[in-house]
């Protein structure tokens, strides 16, 4: 698949010189928040990566080309076009390449492209997982399987709070995915720091995470690692409040018959409106926090 891949000059140079690189997804730009906040946030996240000693590589599909590293103009293009761009997961990549179309990469698709480019570390907001009611709908994000078969470390604030978190953790365990809590024994719940669910291992420094990843790459080179990083305390939302708003959003979504890959963008937008923008600000803060940690781990990996 490397013949379909374009690596930006900045990222290519960093990789050739064995410098730390952090991959970033593009769905958060097109489907995660409104314009121009989405572009502002994407550029702030890239700057956060640089500030902490690594090179950012925002990942996307443009005109059928897999991209590892976007220009400011390309990020602006994604931000303005927004939800008109296809939300791309593993299954969508071949068709988008063949049709020379654009794709905003989810966690799964970003992992694939990062792996092809030789990038080990990827920072995102929250991963997809097992949706509420999945025992009847079988709605499970492709991110779950990707973590079990693609060798990229994913740094996130846990699974998105709109999901069934206990079932998500069970699914990850079944797939043999190691879940690390950074400075926590408990799975963060995206907007909040706690979920009541235990992580597999706790690490208190970026060095510890890097050490585990080095061993895992030697033993299981084709398996991902999930690093969960709690939203900073000062931006964490009240769990009862945000869960109440999530329940309202889910009921509205079910009434409208929204399903599949449209579920997450609809719920994030609805919750942002229900909370008067508070959830959007929390989302931005946690993404920046994850970019910072991912960069520090990427730097440690190169020492």
Residues annotated as part of the active site: 25, 160
**In sequence order, what are the residues at sequence separation of 6 or more whose Cβ sits closer than 8 angstroms to the Cβ of residue 65?**
4, 5, 6, 97
Cα distance from N-terminal residue to C-terminal residue, the chain: 30
Determine contact, residues 235/191, Cβ cutoff 8 Å.
Answer: no
> Which tokens sit at 283?
């989302």
Structure tokens at 121: 């570390």
Of 142, 135, 220, 136, give the one whose Cα is nearest residue 176: 220
DSSP3 helix / strand / coil % (the chain, rounded to 5): 50, 20, 30
Q: In angstroms, how far is CA 168 from the centroid of its own chain?
A: 15
Q: Please spell the DSSP secondary structure of 140-199, one letter per residue.
A: B-HHHHHHHHS--EEEESSB-TTB-HHHHHHHHHHTT-EEEEET-SB--BTTBS--S-B-
The rounded distance, in Å, linking the Cα atoms of 154 and 152 is: 6
């Amino acid at each position: 698949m490397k013949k379909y891949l374009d690596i930006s000059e900045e990222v290519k140079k960093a990789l050739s010189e064995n410098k730390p690189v952090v991959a970033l997804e593009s769905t958060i730009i097109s489907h995660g928040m409104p314009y121009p906040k989405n572009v502002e946030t994407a550029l702030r996240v890239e700057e956060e990566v640089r500030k902490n000693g690594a090179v950012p590589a925002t990942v996307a599909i443009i005109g059928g080309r897999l991209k590892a590293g976007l220009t400011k103009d390309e990020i602006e293009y994604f931000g303005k076009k927004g939800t008109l761009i296809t939300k791309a997961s593993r299954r969508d990549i071949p068709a988008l390449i063949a049709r020379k179309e654009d794709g905003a990469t989810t966690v799964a698709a970003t992992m694939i492209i990062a792996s092809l480019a030789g990038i080990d570390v990827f920072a995102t907001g929250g991963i997809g997982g097992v949706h509420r009611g999945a025992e009847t709908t079988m709605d499970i994000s492709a991110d779950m399987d990707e973590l079990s078969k693609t060798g990229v470390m994913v740094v996130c604030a846990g699974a998105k709070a709109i999901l069934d978190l206990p079932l998500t953790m069970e699914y990850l365990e079944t797939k043999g995915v190691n879940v690390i809590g950074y400075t926590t024994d408990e799975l963060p719940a995206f907007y909040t720091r706690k979920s009541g669910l235990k992580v597999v291992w706790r690490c208190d420094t970026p060095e510890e995470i890097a050490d585990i990843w080095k061993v895992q790459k030697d033993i299981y080179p084709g398996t991902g690692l999930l690093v969960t990083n709690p939203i900073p305390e000062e931006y964490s939302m009240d769990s009862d409040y945000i869960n109440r708003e999530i329940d309202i959003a889910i009921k509205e979504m079910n009434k409208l018959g929204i399903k599949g890959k449209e579920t997450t963008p609809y719920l994030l937008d609805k919750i942002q409106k229900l909370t008067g923008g508070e959830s959007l600000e929390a989302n931005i803060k946690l993404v920046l926090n994850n970019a910072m940690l991912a960069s520090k781990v990427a730097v440690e990996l190169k020492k």
